């Protein structure tokens, strides 16, 4: 059971056996929030894996020495984030961790792999198309010039996270579909000597269309994060323009803000 200003091991529930909960009853931070944060951290770091059962609220309150309303509030906050799900007759189950991606010039594949998220990729399109006005402006080429269009579905733990649409100058590099499904686009660029230097990026949000919702295993109208990025190499040449959509229930940008001196 969780102790005041201390830690205790939760027993009985297999998914919680390896966790030590430190709940400080003297802290101004509510107990439900302390519990929710520690459970979320365990999910993010893979200590609690998708499919693990936490038991029901009554069992959890007894194991942790907390009131049932406190445990219910902690669980509900993680259910609302899409990290846990309540299953009738089963109890509370871990669904997945939310991807928290640093706001820097890196590829989603590399970030997911570094976080132990087991990324996989399905290449939906890999073809040459004429550049639209927006694509041409981003890449600094003439409208109608040939570009390579990539459309990929990125998943973690077998669950879809994002639909990635990228445009590259047609002559930039050979993009083999098999390699694209085995590794990240930026890795392939680096492998042929392209040094990424900077990018301009815009982040937004909107609701999922019926088609997007089906592909991302969401409900129509669910919140999506959007991102548009133009990446430049070390000579200042635009080498990639991307328009991506992410499941807001499973994905977040994480960045630090500093006060200017």
Q: What is the pLDDT of residues 89-111, one digit of tens each?
A: 667 878 765 555 444 555 565 56
CATH 1.10.10.10 domain locations along the chain: 31-94
Q: What pLDDT is stored for residue 97 in this prediction?
A: 56
Cross-strand pairs, 140: none
d(CA 149, CA 174): 12
141 and 162 Cβ atoms separated by less than 8 Å: no
CATH fold for domain 31-94? Arc Repressor Mutant, subunit A (1.10.10)
Token output for 149: 């269009």
Determine the pLDDT at residue 2: 46
The pLDDT value recorded for residue 255 is 57
Cα–Cα dist 89/172, whole Å: 55
Burial of 144 (0-12, 13-18, 19+ CB in 10 A): exposed
Domain covering 108-247, topology = Chorismate lyase (3.40.1410)
- Beta-bridge partner residues of 22: 7
Per-residue model confidence as pLDDT tens for the chain (261 residues)? 444 333 333 333 445 656 777 788 888 888 888 888 888 888 776 778 777 887 777 777 887 788 889 988 888 888 877 778 777 766 787 876 555 544 455 556 556 555 555 678 899 999 999 999 999 999 999 999 999 999 999 888 778 889 999 999 999 988 999 998 888 888 898 899 998 888 888 889 999 999 999 999 899 999 998 989 899 988 889 999 999 998 887 766 665 556 666
Give pTM, 2 decimals: 0.59
| Paired sense of beta strands 159-169 and 238-247, if any | antiparallel
Determine the Cα–Cα distance for residues 181 and 131; give it in Å rounded to an integer.
Answer: 24
Can you give the pLDDT at residue 135?
A: 94
Q: How far apart are CA 130 and CA 110, in angstroms?
A: 29
Q: Which pLDDT score is estimated for 1? A: 42
Buried b (16+ CB within 10 A) or exposed e, 5-29: eeebebeebebbeebebebeeeeee
For residues 102 and 253, what is the distance between their CA atoms, to the nearest angstrom?
6
- At a CB cut-off of 8 Å and minimum separation 6, what does 248 contact? 205, 222, 223, 224, 225
């Amino acid at each position: 059971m969780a102790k005041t200003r201390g830690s205790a091991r939760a027993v009985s529930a297999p998914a919680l056996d390896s966790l030590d909960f430190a709940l400080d009853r003297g802290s101004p931070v509510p107990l439900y929030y302390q519990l929710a944060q520690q459970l979320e951290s365990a999910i993010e770091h893979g200590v609690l894996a998708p499919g693990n059962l936490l038991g029901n609220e009554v069992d959890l309150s007894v194991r942790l020495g907390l009131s049932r309303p406190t445990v219910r509030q902690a669980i509900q906050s993680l259910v609302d984030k899409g990290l846990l799900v309540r299953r009738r007759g089963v109890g509370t189950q871990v669904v997945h961790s939310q991807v928290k991606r640093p706001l820097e010039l890196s590829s989603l594949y590399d970030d997911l792999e570094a976080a132990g998220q087991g990324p996989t990729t399905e290449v939906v399109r890999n073809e040459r198309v004429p550049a639209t006005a927006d694509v041409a402006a981003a890449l600094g080429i003439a409208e109608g010039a040939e570009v390579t269009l990539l459309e990929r579905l990125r998943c973690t733990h077998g669950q879809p996270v994002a639909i990635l649409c990228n445009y590259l100058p047609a002559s930039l590099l050979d993009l083999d579909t098999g390699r694209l499904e085995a590794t990240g686009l930026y890795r392939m660029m680096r492998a042929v000597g392209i040094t990424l230097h900077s990018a301009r990026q815009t982040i937004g949000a909107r609701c999922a269309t019926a088609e997007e919702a089906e592909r991302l295993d969401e409900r129509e109208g669910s919140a999506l994060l959007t991102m548009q990025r133009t990446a430049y190499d070390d000579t200042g040449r635009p080498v990639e323009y991307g328009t991506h959509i992410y499941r807001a229930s499973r994905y977040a940008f994480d960045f630090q803000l500093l006060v200017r001196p």
